[in-house]
Amino acid sequence: MTDSLVPLGKRPVAPAPRPAPAAGAPRVFVETYGCQMNVADSDLIGSVLADAGYATCDRAELADVIVINTCAVREKAEERVIARAAELGALKRKRPNTVLAIVGCMAEHLKEGLAARAPAVDVIAGPDTYRRMPELLAAARAKPVTVGAPSGGVIVDIQLDKAETYDGLSGAIGGDGVSGFVTIQRGCDKFCTFCVVPFTRGRERGTPPREVLRQVRELAAAGYREVTLLGQTVNSYVFEDVTFAELIRAVASVEGIERVRFTSPYPVDFTDDVVAAIASTPKICKYVHLPLQSGSDVVLERMRRGYTVEDYRAIVARLRAAVPHIAISTDILTGFCGETVADHEQTLALMRELRFDSAFMFAYSERDLTLSAKKMVDDVPPAEKQRRLSEIVALQEIISAEVFTAHIGRDERVLVTGPSKRDPAQLVGRTDGFKSVILPTNVGAVGELVDVTIKRATMATLFGF
Protein backbone atom coordinates (compact mmCIF):
# COMPACT_ATOMS: atom_id res chain seq x y z
CA MET A 1 0.00 0.00 0.00
CA THR A 2 1.30 3.47 -0.82
CA ASP A 3 0.98 6.74 1.03
CA SER A 4 -1.53 7.83 -1.53
CA LEU A 5 -4.07 5.60 0.22
CA VAL A 6 -3.74 7.20 3.64
CA PRO A 7 -6.82 9.38 4.15
CA LEU A 8 -5.82 13.03 4.48
CA GLY A 9 -6.91 14.83 7.62
CA LYS A 10 -9.63 13.89 10.05
CA ARG A 11 -12.59 15.88 8.91
CA PRO A 12 -13.85 15.78 5.37
CA VAL A 13 -13.47 19.08 3.57
CA ALA A 14 -16.60 20.39 1.84
CA PRO A 15 -16.15 21.06 -1.87
CA ALA A 16 -16.11 24.72 -2.88
CA PRO A 17 -19.70 25.71 -3.66
CA ARG A 18 -20.36 26.24 -7.35
CA PRO A 19 -21.66 29.73 -8.25
CA ALA A 20 -25.34 29.81 -9.20
CA PRO A 21 -25.90 29.82 -12.97
CA ALA A 22 -26.25 33.27 -14.52
CA ALA A 23 -29.70 34.59 -15.37
CA GLY A 24 -30.63 33.31 -18.83
CA ALA A 25 -28.11 30.44 -18.63
CA PRO A 26 -28.88 27.62 -21.07
CA ARG A 27 -30.82 24.80 -19.42
CA VAL A 28 -29.75 21.18 -19.73
CA PHE A 29 -31.78 18.05 -19.05
CA VAL A 30 -29.88 14.74 -18.75
CA GLU A 31 -31.77 11.45 -19.12
CA THR A 32 -30.07 8.18 -18.22
CA TYR A 33 -30.47 4.61 -19.49
CA GLY A 34 -28.57 1.54 -18.34
CA CYS A 35 -26.31 0.71 -15.44
CA GLN A 36 -25.07 2.52 -12.34
CA MET A 37 -21.95 3.57 -14.23
CA ASN A 38 -24.20 5.53 -16.56
CA VAL A 39 -25.95 7.13 -13.58
CA ALA A 40 -22.53 8.22 -12.29
CA ASP A 41 -21.51 9.38 -15.79
CA SER A 42 -24.69 11.47 -16.05
CA ASP A 43 -23.77 13.18 -12.78
CA LEU A 44 -20.32 13.79 -14.26
CA ILE A 45 -21.81 15.30 -17.44
CA GLY A 46 -24.13 17.46 -15.32
CA SER A 47 -21.15 18.62 -13.31
CA VAL A 48 -19.03 19.44 -16.40
CA LEU A 49 -21.92 21.42 -17.88
CA ALA A 50 -22.66 23.23 -14.60
CA ASP A 51 -19.00 24.30 -14.52
CA ALA A 52 -19.49 25.59 -18.08
CA GLY A 53 -22.42 27.79 -16.95
CA TYR A 54 -25.40 25.56 -17.71
CA ALA A 55 -28.42 25.44 -15.42
CA THR A 56 -30.05 22.05 -14.91
CA CYS A 57 -33.76 21.43 -15.39
CA ASP A 58 -35.90 18.40 -14.67
CA ARG A 59 -38.05 18.26 -17.82
CA ALA A 60 -37.00 17.83 -21.43
CA GLU A 61 -39.75 20.27 -22.47
CA LEU A 62 -37.98 23.10 -20.63
CA ALA A 63 -34.43 22.35 -21.81
CA ASP A 64 -32.25 24.11 -24.35
CA VAL A 65 -30.02 21.03 -24.43
CA ILE A 66 -31.20 17.44 -23.93
CA VAL A 67 -28.54 14.81 -23.26
CA ILE A 68 -29.52 11.14 -23.44
CA ASN A 69 -26.90 8.91 -21.83
CA THR A 70 -27.33 5.46 -23.33
CA CYS A 71 -26.68 1.75 -22.94
CA ALA A 72 -25.74 -0.70 -25.70
CA VAL A 73 -25.65 -3.95 -23.75
CA ARG A 74 -28.99 -5.21 -25.09
CA GLU A 75 -30.88 -4.50 -28.25
CA LYS A 76 -33.98 -3.53 -26.24
CA ALA A 77 -32.05 -0.76 -24.47
CA GLU A 78 -31.11 0.71 -27.85
CA GLU A 79 -34.67 0.43 -29.16
CA ARG A 80 -35.95 2.39 -26.15
CA VAL A 81 -33.50 5.20 -26.89
CA ILE A 82 -34.48 5.29 -30.57
CA ALA A 83 -38.14 5.57 -29.54
CA ARG A 84 -37.31 8.31 -27.04
CA ALA A 85 -35.25 10.21 -29.65
CA ALA A 86 -38.30 10.12 -31.97
CA GLU A 87 -40.44 11.64 -29.19
CA LEU A 88 -37.82 14.31 -28.62
CA GLY A 89 -37.73 14.92 -32.40
CA ALA A 90 -41.40 15.94 -32.15
CA LEU A 91 -40.47 18.28 -29.29
CA LYS A 92 -37.68 19.77 -31.40
CA ARG A 93 -40.11 20.56 -34.18
CA LYS A 94 -41.96 22.79 -31.71
CA ARG A 95 -38.73 24.21 -30.24
CA PRO A 96 -36.21 24.06 -33.12
CA ASN A 97 -33.36 25.64 -31.15
CA THR A 98 -33.24 22.69 -28.78
CA VAL A 99 -30.07 20.60 -29.13
CA LEU A 100 -30.27 16.82 -28.70
CA ALA A 101 -27.10 14.95 -27.73
CA ILE A 102 -27.00 11.16 -27.60
CA VAL A 103 -23.96 10.07 -25.62
CA GLY A 104 -22.45 6.98 -24.01
CA CYS A 105 -22.27 3.34 -25.04
CA MET A 106 -24.91 3.33 -27.78
CA ALA A 107 -23.37 6.44 -29.36
CA GLU A 108 -19.98 4.67 -29.35
CA HIS A 109 -21.55 1.45 -30.66
CA LEU A 110 -23.53 2.90 -33.59
CA LYS A 111 -21.24 5.89 -34.28
CA GLU A 112 -22.34 8.06 -37.24
CA GLY A 113 -24.93 5.40 -38.11
CA LEU A 114 -26.99 6.49 -35.13
CA ALA A 115 -28.07 9.62 -37.05
CA ALA A 116 -29.95 7.47 -39.57
CA ARG A 117 -31.96 5.82 -36.76
CA ALA A 118 -32.38 8.98 -34.69
CA PRO A 119 -32.63 11.85 -37.23
CA ALA A 120 -33.26 14.47 -34.53
CA VAL A 121 -29.79 14.00 -33.02
CA ASP A 122 -27.33 16.93 -33.14
CA VAL A 123 -24.40 15.50 -31.16
CA ILE A 124 -23.16 11.90 -30.98
CA ALA A 125 -20.52 11.49 -28.27
CA GLY A 126 -18.84 8.44 -26.74
CA PRO A 127 -18.10 7.76 -23.06
CA ASP A 128 -14.58 9.24 -23.14
CA THR A 129 -15.62 12.67 -24.49
CA TYR A 130 -17.43 14.20 -21.52
CA ARG A 131 -14.73 16.77 -20.80
CA ARG A 132 -15.43 18.14 -24.28
CA MET A 133 -19.22 18.29 -23.88
CA PRO A 134 -19.31 22.11 -23.46
CA GLU A 135 -17.46 22.61 -26.77
CA LEU A 136 -19.50 19.96 -28.60
CA LEU A 137 -22.78 21.47 -27.41
CA ALA A 138 -21.63 25.03 -28.10
CA ALA A 139 -20.79 24.01 -31.67
CA ALA A 140 -24.22 22.38 -32.08
CA ARG A 141 -26.01 25.42 -30.63
CA ALA A 142 -24.11 27.72 -33.01
CA LYS A 143 -25.23 25.84 -36.12
CA PRO A 144 -28.02 27.19 -38.29
CA VAL A 145 -31.41 25.71 -37.37
CA THR A 146 -33.26 23.62 -39.93
CA VAL A 147 -36.76 22.80 -38.72
CA GLY A 148 -37.38 19.04 -38.64
CA ALA A 149 -33.75 18.13 -39.30
CA PRO A 150 -30.53 18.09 -37.31
CA SER A 151 -29.19 21.61 -36.95
CA GLY A 152 -26.97 21.76 -39.98
CA GLY A 153 -25.27 18.37 -39.62
CA VAL A 154 -24.43 16.05 -36.78
CA ILE A 155 -21.35 16.58 -34.61
CA VAL A 156 -19.68 13.26 -33.88
CA ASP A 157 -16.99 12.66 -31.24
CA ILE A 158 -16.45 9.00 -30.48
CA GLN A 159 -12.73 9.00 -29.73
CA LEU A 160 -11.90 6.43 -27.03
CA ASP A 161 -9.06 7.42 -24.73
CA LYS A 162 -7.31 4.67 -22.80
CA ALA A 163 -5.99 7.19 -20.25
CA GLU A 164 -9.25 9.02 -19.48
CA THR A 165 -10.50 8.47 -15.92
CA TYR A 166 -11.96 11.99 -15.48
CA ASP A 167 -9.52 12.87 -12.69
CA GLY A 168 -10.16 16.20 -11.06
CA LEU A 169 -13.80 16.40 -12.04
CA SER A 170 -16.46 16.50 -9.38
CA GLY A 171 -19.04 14.10 -10.68
CA ALA A 172 -19.60 12.19 -7.47
CA ILE A 173 -22.38 14.35 -6.09
CA GLY A 174 -25.79 13.24 -7.32
CA GLY A 175 -28.55 10.78 -6.60
CA ASP A 176 -30.39 10.76 -3.27
CA GLY A 177 -27.81 12.67 -1.20
CA VAL A 178 -27.22 9.64 1.04
CA SER A 179 -25.73 7.01 -1.24
CA GLY A 180 -23.24 8.10 -3.92
CA PHE A 181 -21.16 6.52 -6.68
CA VAL A 182 -17.47 6.82 -7.46
CA THR A 183 -16.19 5.28 -10.67
CA ILE A 184 -12.83 3.65 -9.90
CA GLN A 185 -12.33 1.83 -13.17
CA ARG A 186 -13.41 2.41 -16.76
CA GLY A 187 -13.46 0.02 -19.71
CA CYS A 188 -13.03 -3.74 -19.74
CA ASP A 189 -10.32 -6.12 -20.98
CA LYS A 190 -12.23 -9.38 -20.54
CA PHE A 191 -13.92 -9.61 -23.95
CA CYS A 192 -16.66 -12.06 -23.01
CA THR A 193 -17.92 -13.23 -26.38
CA PHE A 194 -21.46 -11.85 -25.95
CA CYS A 195 -20.55 -8.42 -24.61
CA VAL A 196 -20.16 -5.15 -26.47
CA VAL A 197 -18.76 -3.20 -23.49
CA PRO A 198 -15.03 -3.54 -24.36
CA PHE A 199 -15.90 -2.00 -27.75
CA THR A 200 -18.04 0.83 -26.38
CA ARG A 201 -16.05 1.71 -23.25
CA GLY A 202 -12.55 0.80 -24.40
CA ARG A 203 -9.69 -0.73 -22.44
CA GLU A 204 -9.63 -1.17 -18.70
CA ARG A 205 -8.02 1.61 -16.65
CA GLY A 206 -8.08 2.43 -12.95
CA THR A 207 -8.69 5.84 -11.39
CA PRO A 208 -5.68 6.88 -9.25
CA PRO A 209 -6.33 6.06 -5.54
CA ARG A 210 -5.75 9.67 -4.52
CA GLU A 211 -8.51 10.76 -6.90
CA VAL A 212 -10.87 7.99 -5.66
CA LEU A 213 -10.32 9.17 -2.08
CA ARG A 214 -10.79 12.80 -3.04
CA GLN A 215 -14.20 11.98 -4.51
CA VAL A 216 -15.18 9.81 -1.53
CA ARG A 217 -14.24 12.64 0.86
CA GLU A 218 -16.24 15.03 -1.27
CA LEU A 219 -19.27 12.77 -0.86
CA ALA A 220 -18.70 12.53 2.90
CA ALA A 221 -18.40 16.31 3.18
CA ALA A 222 -21.70 16.69 1.33
CA GLY A 223 -23.40 14.43 3.87
CA TYR A 224 -23.39 11.12 1.99
CA ARG A 225 -23.13 8.06 4.22
CA GLU A 226 -22.65 5.29 1.67
CA VAL A 227 -20.42 5.01 -1.37
CA THR A 228 -20.56 2.44 -4.16
CA LEU A 229 -17.32 1.99 -6.09
CA LEU A 230 -18.02 1.28 -9.75
CA GLY A 231 -16.17 -0.61 -12.46
CA GLN A 232 -17.00 -3.14 -15.17
CA THR A 233 -14.83 -5.69 -13.36
CA VAL A 234 -14.33 -3.63 -10.26
CA ASN A 235 -12.25 -6.14 -8.28
CA SER A 236 -9.71 -6.37 -11.10
CA TYR A 237 -8.82 -2.80 -10.12
CA VAL A 238 -5.14 -2.08 -9.81
CA PHE A 239 -3.28 1.21 -9.95
CA GLU A 240 0.50 0.95 -9.89
CA ASP A 241 1.10 -1.10 -6.71
CA VAL A 242 -2.31 -0.44 -5.12
CA THR A 243 -4.71 -3.38 -5.13
CA PHE A 244 -8.49 -3.41 -4.91
CA ALA A 245 -8.40 -4.80 -1.36
CA GLU A 246 -6.14 -1.91 -0.26
CA LEU A 247 -8.36 0.61 -1.97
CA ILE A 248 -11.62 -0.56 -0.36
CA ARG A 249 -10.00 -0.62 3.10
CA ALA A 250 -8.80 2.95 2.56
CA VAL A 251 -12.22 4.10 1.34
CA ALA A 252 -13.82 2.52 4.41
CA SER A 253 -11.56 4.62 6.62
CA VAL A 254 -12.84 7.94 5.24
CA GLU A 255 -14.60 9.71 8.09
CA GLY A 256 -18.33 10.19 7.57
CA ILE A 257 -18.69 7.21 5.23
CA GLU A 258 -20.51 4.41 7.04
CA ARG A 259 -20.92 1.90 4.22
CA VAL A 260 -18.82 0.89 1.25
CA ARG A 261 -20.12 -1.20 -1.64
CA PHE A 262 -18.68 -2.12 -5.02
CA THR A 263 -20.09 -3.42 -8.29
CA SER A 264 -19.65 -5.47 -10.41
CA PRO A 265 -16.84 -7.83 -9.50
CA TYR A 266 -15.50 -10.46 -11.88
CA PRO A 267 -15.78 -13.88 -10.24
CA VAL A 268 -12.24 -15.17 -10.76
CA ASP A 269 -10.61 -11.92 -9.72
CA PHE A 270 -11.88 -12.36 -6.16
CA THR A 271 -8.59 -12.65 -4.27
CA ASP A 272 -8.32 -13.95 -0.70
CA ASP A 273 -7.26 -10.43 0.27
CA VAL A 274 -10.55 -8.96 -1.01
CA VAL A 275 -12.56 -11.65 0.80
CA ALA A 276 -10.59 -10.89 3.98
CA ALA A 277 -11.21 -7.15 3.58
CA ILE A 278 -14.97 -7.75 3.34
CA ALA A 279 -14.92 -10.07 6.35
CA SER A 280 -12.76 -7.92 8.59
CA THR A 281 -13.85 -4.35 7.76
CA PRO A 282 -17.20 -3.53 9.37
CA LYS A 283 -17.96 -0.68 6.97
CA ILE A 284 -17.52 -2.85 3.87
CA CYS A 285 -21.00 -4.23 3.21
CA LYS A 286 -21.58 -7.96 3.43
CA TYR A 287 -23.03 -8.08 -0.03
CA VAL A 288 -21.55 -9.14 -3.36
CA HIS A 289 -23.01 -9.06 -6.85
CA LEU A 290 -21.35 -12.02 -8.56
CA PRO A 291 -22.37 -12.43 -12.22
CA LEU A 292 -22.76 -16.14 -13.05
CA GLN A 293 -24.33 -15.96 -16.56
CA SER A 294 -24.73 -19.75 -16.98
CA GLY A 295 -24.64 -22.96 -14.95
CA SER A 296 -23.20 -24.97 -17.86
CA ASP A 297 -19.45 -25.32 -18.36
CA VAL A 298 -19.92 -25.65 -22.12
CA VAL A 299 -21.81 -22.36 -22.28
CA LEU A 300 -19.38 -20.60 -19.92
CA GLU A 301 -16.53 -21.71 -22.16
CA ARG A 302 -18.35 -20.44 -25.24
CA MET A 303 -18.95 -17.14 -23.44
CA ARG A 304 -15.21 -17.05 -22.54
CA ARG A 305 -16.08 -16.17 -18.97
CA GLY A 306 -12.79 -17.53 -17.67
CA TYR A 307 -14.25 -19.86 -15.02
CA THR A 308 -16.04 -23.17 -14.70
CA VAL A 309 -19.08 -23.95 -12.57
CA GLU A 310 -16.71 -25.53 -10.06
CA ASP A 311 -14.58 -22.37 -9.90
CA TYR A 312 -17.70 -20.29 -9.33
CA ARG A 313 -18.98 -22.66 -6.63
CA ALA A 314 -15.61 -22.40 -4.88
CA ILE A 315 -15.74 -18.57 -4.91
CA VAL A 316 -19.24 -18.60 -3.37
CA ALA A 317 -18.05 -21.13 -0.76
CA ARG A 318 -15.04 -18.94 0.12
CA LEU A 319 -17.27 -15.88 0.54
CA ARG A 320 -19.83 -17.75 2.64
CA ALA A 321 -17.15 -19.36 4.80
CA ALA A 322 -15.56 -15.98 5.53
CA VAL A 323 -18.84 -14.06 5.93
CA PRO A 324 -21.65 -16.49 6.85
CA HIS A 325 -24.58 -14.09 6.25
CA ILE A 326 -23.19 -12.52 3.10
CA ALA A 327 -25.87 -11.63 0.53
CA ILE A 328 -25.07 -12.67 -3.02
CA SER A 329 -26.90 -11.57 -6.15
CA THR A 330 -26.10 -12.53 -9.72
CA ASP A 331 -26.69 -12.07 -13.45
CA ILE A 332 -28.03 -14.87 -15.63
CA LEU A 333 -27.97 -14.73 -19.43
CA THR A 334 -30.19 -17.37 -21.01
CA GLY A 335 -30.50 -18.59 -24.59
CA PHE A 336 -26.87 -17.96 -25.57
CA CYS A 337 -25.60 -19.44 -28.87
CA GLY A 338 -25.72 -23.24 -28.75
CA GLU A 339 -27.37 -23.42 -25.32
CA THR A 340 -29.31 -26.70 -25.09
CA VAL A 341 -32.22 -27.58 -22.84
CA ALA A 342 -29.73 -29.63 -20.79
CA ASP A 343 -27.48 -26.55 -20.38
CA HIS A 344 -30.52 -24.57 -19.26
CA GLU A 345 -31.44 -27.28 -16.73
CA GLN A 346 -27.90 -27.04 -15.32
CA THR A 347 -28.40 -23.29 -14.79
CA LEU A 348 -31.65 -23.95 -12.93
CA ALA A 349 -29.97 -26.65 -10.83
CA LEU A 350 -27.10 -24.32 -9.88
CA MET A 351 -29.56 -21.58 -8.94
CA ARG A 352 -31.36 -24.07 -6.65
CA GLU A 353 -28.03 -25.09 -5.13
CA LEU A 354 -26.49 -21.63 -4.58
CA ARG A 355 -29.73 -19.79 -3.72
CA PHE A 356 -28.91 -16.24 -4.75
CA ASP A 357 -30.65 -13.47 -2.83
CA SER A 358 -31.69 -11.87 -6.11
CA ALA A 359 -30.78 -11.90 -9.79
CA PHE A 360 -30.83 -9.84 -12.95
CA MET A 361 -32.00 -12.21 -15.67
CA PHE A 362 -31.91 -11.62 -19.42
CA ALA A 363 -32.35 -13.40 -22.74
CA TYR A 364 -29.36 -13.22 -25.08
CA SER A 365 -29.57 -10.73 -27.94
CA GLU A 366 -26.85 -10.50 -30.55
CA ARG A 367 -24.67 -7.38 -30.45
CA ASP A 368 -22.58 -6.65 -33.51
CA LEU A 369 -18.80 -6.26 -33.05
CA THR A 370 -18.81 -9.12 -30.51
CA LEU A 371 -17.21 -12.51 -31.16
CA SER A 372 -20.53 -14.32 -30.70
CA ALA A 373 -22.14 -12.14 -33.38
CA LYS A 374 -19.22 -12.70 -35.76
CA LYS A 375 -18.49 -16.39 -35.21
CA MET A 376 -21.44 -18.09 -33.53
CA VAL A 377 -25.01 -18.84 -34.50
CA ASP A 378 -27.82 -17.26 -32.48
CA ASP A 379 -29.71 -20.52 -32.72
CA VAL A 380 -32.09 -20.55 -29.75
CA PRO A 381 -35.45 -19.40 -31.17
CA PRO A 382 -36.89 -16.25 -29.51
CA ALA A 383 -39.91 -18.12 -28.09
CA GLU A 384 -37.62 -20.72 -26.53
CA LYS A 385 -35.38 -17.99 -25.04
CA GLN A 386 -38.47 -16.45 -23.48
CA ARG A 387 -39.62 -19.84 -22.15
CA ARG A 388 -36.23 -20.43 -20.51
CA LEU A 389 -36.14 -16.89 -19.16
CA SER A 390 -39.62 -17.33 -17.65
CA GLU A 391 -38.49 -20.52 -15.89
CA ILE A 392 -35.40 -18.80 -14.54
CA VAL A 393 -37.39 -15.79 -13.33
CA ALA A 394 -40.06 -18.00 -11.72
CA LEU A 395 -37.41 -20.03 -9.88
CA GLN A 396 -35.58 -16.94 -8.67
CA GLU A 397 -38.84 -15.43 -7.44
CA ILE A 398 -39.42 -18.51 -5.27
CA ILE A 399 -35.84 -18.43 -3.93
CA SER A 400 -35.91 -14.66 -3.30
CA ALA A 401 -39.24 -14.96 -1.46
CA GLU A 402 -37.73 -17.66 0.78
CA VAL A 403 -34.52 -15.68 1.38
CA PHE A 404 -36.43 -12.48 2.19
CA THR A 405 -38.94 -14.31 4.41
CA ALA A 406 -36.06 -15.78 6.41
CA HIS A 407 -35.25 -12.20 7.51
CA ILE A 408 -38.52 -11.91 9.46
CA GLY A 409 -37.71 -11.55 13.14
CA ARG A 410 -34.09 -10.52 12.49
CA ASP A 411 -32.68 -7.23 13.68
CA GLU A 412 -31.20 -5.21 10.84
CA ARG A 413 -29.31 -1.93 10.67
CA VAL A 414 -30.87 0.12 7.89
CA LEU A 415 -29.51 3.22 6.16
CA VAL A 416 -32.50 5.48 5.50
CA THR A 417 -32.24 6.83 1.96
CA GLY A 418 -35.50 8.77 1.52
CA PRO A 419 -39.28 8.66 1.41
CA SER A 420 -40.81 5.49 -0.02
CA LYS A 421 -41.75 5.98 -3.70
CA ARG A 422 -44.99 4.02 -3.28
CA ASP A 423 -46.04 5.72 -0.08
CA PRO A 424 -44.27 9.00 0.71
CA ALA A 425 -45.72 8.77 4.24
CA GLN A 426 -43.18 5.99 4.86
CA LEU A 427 -39.41 5.84 4.58
CA VAL A 428 -37.23 3.49 2.57
CA GLY A 429 -33.74 2.32 3.37
CA ARG A 430 -31.29 -0.49 2.71
CA THR A 431 -29.77 -3.21 4.82
CA ASP A 432 -26.07 -3.98 4.76
CA GLY A 433 -27.05 -6.88 2.45
CA PHE A 434 -28.62 -4.44 -0.07
CA LYS A 435 -32.26 -5.25 0.64
CA SER A 436 -34.84 -2.49 0.53
CA VAL A 437 -36.72 -1.94 3.78
CA ILE A 438 -39.91 0.08 4.19
CA LEU A 439 -40.01 1.90 7.53
CA PRO A 440 -42.40 4.12 9.46
CA THR A 441 -41.28 7.75 9.58
CA ASN A 442 -40.79 7.78 13.34
CA VAL A 443 -37.79 5.41 13.27
CA GLY A 444 -35.31 8.06 12.15
CA ALA A 445 -34.35 10.61 9.53
CA VAL A 446 -32.99 10.35 6.00
CA GLY A 447 -29.26 9.66 6.16
CA GLU A 448 -29.42 7.91 9.53
CA LEU A 449 -28.56 4.32 10.34
CA VAL A 450 -31.47 2.87 12.31
CA ASP A 451 -31.88 -0.49 14.03
CA VAL A 452 -35.16 -2.19 13.26
CA THR A 453 -36.72 -5.63 13.45
CA ILE A 454 -38.01 -7.12 10.23
CA LYS A 455 -41.71 -7.89 10.59
CA ARG A 456 -42.82 -8.73 7.09
CA ALA A 457 -41.31 -9.57 3.69
CA THR A 458 -42.14 -9.93 0.02
CA MET A 459 -39.77 -11.40 -2.56
CA ALA A 460 -38.14 -7.99 -3.08
CA THR A 461 -38.86 -5.86 0.00
CA LEU A 462 -38.57 -6.08 3.77
CA PHE A 463 -40.78 -4.17 6.22
CA GLY A 464 -39.26 -3.07 9.53
CA PHE A 465 -40.44 -1.38 12.72
Give the footprint of ligand SF4 on this chain (CB under 6 A).
Answer: 188, 190-192, 195, 197-198, 232-233, 266
Give the shortest CB-430-to-ligand SF4 separation in angstroms.
24
Query: Given the complex with ligand SF4, which of 98 and 293 has the nearer CB atom?
Result: 293
Classify residue 375 by its DSSP letter. Answer: H
Q: Collapsing DSSP states into helix, strand and coil, what is residue 98?
A: coil
DSSP tag of 170: -
Is residue 193 a contact partner of residue 147, using CB atoms and an 8 Å limit? no
Helix (H) or strand (E) holding 83: helix 75-94
Helices (H) and strands (E) in the chain, counts: 14, 21
How far is residue 147's CA from residue 425's CA, in Å, rounded to a whole number?
A: 46
Query: In 3D, which of 156, 136, 146 has the Cα closest to residue 45?
Result: 136
Nearer to ligand SF4, 291 or 447 (CB): 291
CB of 264 to ligand SF4, least distance (A): 7
Q: What is the nearest approach in angstroms of ligand SF4 to the Cβ of residue 36? A: 13
- The Cα 436–Cα 29 span in angstroms is 29
> In angstroms, what is the minimal distance from the CB of 81 to ligand SF4?
19
Q: Which is nearer to ligand SF4, 239 or 266 (CB)?
A: 266
CA distances to 5, 150, 412, 441 from 415, in Å: 26, 46, 10, 13
Nearer to ligand SF4, 233 or 417 (CB): 233
Three-state DSSP at 449 gives strand
Q: How many residues does the chain have?
A: 465
We find the least distance from the C-beta atom of residue 301 to ligand SF4, in angstroms, to be 14
Give the span between the Cα atoms of 92 and 442, in whole angstroms.
46
Residue (191 or 465) nearer to ligand SF4, CB: 191
To the nearest whole angstrom, how small is the minimum distance from the Cβ of residue 192 to ligand SF4? 3
The CA distance from 288 to 285, in Å, is 8
Complex with ligand SF4: residue 25 or 376, whichever CB lies closer: 376
Q: Is 405 helix (H, G, I), strand (E, B) or coil?
A: helix
Distance in Å, CB of 266 to ligand SF4, minimum: 6
Question: 449-457 and 461-464 as β-strands: parallel, antiparallel, unpaired?
Answer: antiparallel
User: Rounded to an integer, what distance in angstroms lies between the CA atom of residue 265 and that of residue 239?
Assistant: 16
Q: Which is nearer to ligand SF4, 180 or 265 (CB)?
A: 265
Q: Which is nearer to ligand SF4, 69 or 420 (CB)?
A: 69
Q: CB of residue 105 vs ligand SF4: minimum separation in angstroms?
A: 10
